Amino acid sequence: MSEIETRPGGLTYREMEASHALSHIEHPEHDELLTLNLGPHHPATHGVLRLLTTLEGEVVRDIKPIIGYVHTGIEKTAEDKAYWKVIPVVERMDYLSYYFNAMAFCGAVETLLDLDVPPRAQYLRVIHMELNRIASHLLWLATGGLDLGAISIFWYAWRDRDLLLDLFEMSSGQRMHTRYFQVGGVVEDIPAGFAAKVRSFTTRFPERIAQFERLIDSNQIVLQRLRGTGTVDEATLLSLGVTGPLLRATGNPWDLRKAQPYSSYEDFDFRIPVGTVGDNYDRYRVRMAEMLESIRIIDQALDGLPEGPYITADRKYALPPRHELATSMEALIHHFKLVTEGFRVAPGEAYYPIESPRGELACFVRADGSSKPARVHMRDPSFVNLQAFKPMVEGDYLADLIASLAMLDPILGGIDR
Amino acid sequence: MPDATGLELIAQDLRQEHGDDTVLGTDFFRDKAAVRVAPAGIGATLEFLRARGFTFLASVHGLDYHPEEPRLGVQYELLDMTEVDRITVTLRVPLDAPTVPSVTPAWPTADHQEREIYDMFGVIFDGHPDLRRILMPEDYEGFPQRRDFPIGGEPVLFTHNEPQVPGYWK
Amino acid sequence: MEVKRERLGSGADGDFRSRGLAARAMLRGELEGPELEAHVEQRLLTTTLDKAANWARANGIMPATFGLACCAIEMMAAVNSRVDIARFGFEAFRASPRQADLLIISGRISIKMAPVVRRIYDQMLEPKWAIAMGACSSSMGVFNNYAITPADKFMPVDLHVPGCPPRPEALVYSILKLRTMIMAKPDLAWRARYGGRGTEEFVESELAIDPAAAHTIGVTGGGKGTRA
């Protein structure tokens, strides 16, 4: 039935593209198949994702995600820059969880250097990462609501997200991609008044979440669209390498903050929300509950914030404080070496996994003794989670596909790197 | 992580089960265990480790060891969720025979990740259901993340290299 | 003290005083020949109706929802309640390029995406404008490598907004600047603005409109969507 002919070993780009629509060959049991191209420019795809959807009526029979439309060659650029300069490049990968990208890279380099991060820096990192987690989940909520047609939540969630970006601007000067995390700690200490401002946010935010929940949780339309759609069982997700809220929605409480704690997460008392069935509604509930748990972590981190240095004292890897440059020759030389060439890392390979808002984000760094990394690979959770999209939508309606895509929370910057 | 002795025991058992030439060595660096295997034995190694509890394949990534030979490397990060253990399996292939048996049929998560390694490095995975470029355009020539592939980009124009791009302001 | 000398524009093209002088000269019958023709032409070009039309166009721009990467997040922040570009008229973001005026290229353009961006820009109807938001679409940005391209290489861009990502306030500044540009310069066809005559893919006289060829979009300026 399909008018698209397939030619094996197609010569032109158009022919190669057309050969993707093999569904009428792969699925002979369905007839009247229509191949629909969603994207890369589409209001519902989060970013530039292209979905070759094969529909029988309104039911999705097959789906092939085509990615690469925002491939930026981040990993290749990172090989060309000194370790210090890689941090801003790598931050722009998963552009909603920039602190997590930086944390994964800095953690990998710190593993290679066997560098200790002072406890104050670890707590500051935790505070910023959890604030970023809330910001990322708020944007997921906003765009998810936008996809479902509940546009009001877009404005409400962004109101709170702007407050969070104000906090980031207060601590580092930038709203996004702040370059706040450095190898060995953070770039500078938090200003006076930051802790008070964060507390004013954390005291008011649970009320906001309660407001959102009152709006959405028992809403008939939300229940009908999210309950029972996009269900995948836990075994399939594990075989596809899926982690994060998608896995936790099926009931598996795997969270690297509890399982393999890093950056002093073991000091904090928080719970891991899990779902039961693994449908879209569970994913929504898991992320809402995660935001409240992040508030708990931030409060505990602020309560227990230790005094001390905010970056490692090892001058070979961290810049000396500016006032020392006037008096100490050694400090001047260290500063000069770090700024011009950067520090060198002895040969080795390190893989550093952390829990980002979308799942296991890991950074693999191979050092070859020079001042530039020989290979930086970011294991992005969205890239692997996208493979779970096919079992999520097969057999569901096209409208459920949009809802599942919203609940999958893919970030194309991380998928394409 | 399996500690150094645990790693050696795993390597020993692997050799016993699958032959001496499967395991090329072990690395224990910064508390992380890695097993170096021959490319042909990767499927058997992963199944062996799956039986040992490492049921989750977290990441498959490639790298280029240029100028050391064999040049192209593929690394598999395995995770044991019940014991909270990680182990890495690495292999290396030369440029003139860049074929590695694909683990996608047994580990579906490797699907997109092996396609990415093919796209970026040119490692060919035997048995992969759909090995085509994933990030670059389908008709792109070259394997960008190889170390000898130029980084590309625009030259930054200063006064001193203006003559190289004459009349760019027109 | 520096004396700033402004060249008086000629006739209707100039400032208020010279326009007044030219109008007085015409009423008195003092303009003759080519001067008179030029004056009438210029006055016709910028009639009050034209000005009103440009004012309406500038104040009711409909941007296309075109978010590529991180800059899209700050574009969404510009749309939201704190920095609200709806108060400037940018209320309705249209998903379909056919209904949109403005393409805000927010984010890095990879070489795979570039033909898609171009096709979307071509599908937009005249008058249309494009803002390259952020460092990556204006120049190469942070990433100077094989995978991305700046927007100027394949499409005409009216404004570049620096920043990585630009603050929402920076985007507001740029759209206000675009508004002033639209109100001031009535060249609505991008080929007129950028001297792109001769880049049309179909010449009017040679075009045979085949109803079966469903991809034929525009006669000039539009270009065909696909070319086998």
Q: Is the ipTM of this complex over 0.85?
A: yes
Share of chain B above pLDDT 70, in %: 94
> What was the pLDDT predicted at C225?
37
Percent of chain A at pLDDT above 90?
72
Mind listing the pLDDT tens digit for each residue in A184-243? 999 999 999 999 999 999 999 999 999 999 989 888 999 999 998 989 999 999 999 999
Is the per-residue pLDDT at C9 higher than 70?
no
Instruction: Provide the token pair at C187.
Output: 């060249």
DSSP state of A348: E
> Using CB atoms, which residue from B136, B144, B154 is nearest to C144?
B154
Q: Band of the pLDDT at C219, cuts 50, 70, 90?
A: very low
Check whether C43 has a pLDDT greater than 70: no
Locus of tokens 């939508």? A393
Say yes or no to pLDDT of B131 above 70. Answer: yes
Quote the CA–CA distance of A307 and A29 in Å, as a whole number.
Answer: 67
Residue A246 clears pLDDT 60, i.e. is over it = yes
- DSSP structural state of residue A323: G
Query: Which stretch of DSSP H or E encloses residue A212?
Result: helix A194-216
pLDDT tens digit string along C100-158?
989 999 999 999 999 999 999 989 988 889 999 999 999 888 888 999 999 988 888 88
Chain B residues with CB-CB distance to C147 below 8 A: 136, 144, 152
Comparing A29-33, A44-48, C129-133, the range with the smallest average pLDDT is: A29-33
| pLDDT at res. A5 | 32
Q: Does pLDDT of A44 surpass 50? A: yes
> Measured between CA atoms, how close is B133 to chain C, in angstroms?
12
More confident residue, A123 or C55: A123
Q: Return the higher-pLDDT residue of B78 and B129.
A: B78
Whose tokens are 């199944």? That residue is: B47
CA distance A145 to A414: 22
**Span of A64-68, A275-279, B153-157, C137-141 with lowest mean pLDDT:** B153-157
Show the tokens assigned to A102: 């930086």
Check B151 against C144: CB less than 8 A apart.
yes
pLDDT bracket for residue C216 (50, 70, 90): very low
Higher pLDDT, A290 or C49: A290
pLDDT of residue C213: 47
Question: What pLDDT is attached to residue A26?
Answer: 61
**Count of B–C CB contacts within 8 Å?**
25
CB contact under 8 A, A13 and B63: no
Largest Cα–Cα distance of chain C, in whole Å? Answer: 70
Say if the Cβ atoms of C147 and B152 lie within 8 Å.
yes
Higher pLDDT, A323 or A295: A295
Q: What is the mean pLDDT of residues A49-62?
A: 88
The shortest C-alpha distance from B113 to chain C (Å) reads 19
The verdict on a CB contact (< 8 Å) between A70 and C228 is no
Q: What pLDDT is attached to residue C95?
A: 83
Is the predicted pLDDT of residue A293 greater than 50, yes or no? yes
A156 to chain C, minimum CA–CA distance in Å? 9
Other Cβ atoms less than 10 A from the Cβ of B21: the count is: 11
Model pLDDT, residue A344 = 92
Place of tokens 């990556």: C136
* Confidence band of C212 (pLDDT split at 50, 70, 90): very low
Chain B CA closest to residue A255? B81
Separation CA A355–CA A272 (nearest Å): 12
CA–CA separation, A251 and A234 (whole Å): 8
Residues 36-75, chain B, touching A (beta carbon < 8 A): 55-59, 61-64, 75
Residue A248 neighbours by CB distance under 10 Å: 25
Coarse DSSP helix, strand, coil percentages of chain B, rounded to the nearest 5 percent: 25, 25, 45
pLDDT in tens, B95-127: 888 999 999 999 999 999 999 999 999 999 988
Please say if the pLDDT value at position A7 is more than 70: no
Tokens at A325, concatenated: 């440059």
pLDDT (0 to 100) of residue C59: 87
Mean pLDDT of chain A: 88
Measure in Å the smallest separation between the Cα of C104 and chain A Cα atoms: 13
Range with the poorest average pLDDT among A12-16, A174-178, A217-221: A12-16
A340-398: per-residue pLDDT in tens?
Answer: 998 999 999 999 999 999 999 999 999 999 999 999 999 999 999 999 999 999 888 99
Scan for tokens 């600047």, then name that residue.
C177
User: Rounded to a whole number, what is the distance in Å from the CA of B137 to chain C's nearest CA?
Assistant: 5
pLDDT at residue C209 greater than cutoff 70: no
- Confidence (pLDDT) at C16: 63
pLDDT digits (tens, 9 = 90+) for C75-84: 999 998 898 8
Q: Inspect the interface and report whether the beta carbons of A16 and B139 lie closer than 8 Å.
A: yes
What's residue A281's pLDDT? 93
Report the phi/psi class of residue C98: left, alpha or beta, with left for phi > 0 and alpha for psi in -120 to 50.
alpha
What's the whole-number average pLDDT of chain B? 86
Report yes or no: C221 and C189 within 8 Å, Cβ to Cβ.
Answer: yes
Residue A72 contacts B, CB cutoff 8 Å: no
Residues of chain A contacting C108 with CB distance shorter than 8 Å: 70, 72
- Pick from A68, A375, A379: which is nearest to B59 by CB? A379
Among the partner-chain residues C111, C139, C145, the one whose CB lies closest to the CB of B151 is: C145
* pLDDT (0 to 100) of residue A213: 92
Q: Is B28 exposed, middle or buried (0-12, 13-18, 19+ CB in 10 A)?
A: middle
* Residue ranges of E strands in A112-187: 181-182, 185-186
Is the whole-model pTM more than 0.80?
A: yes
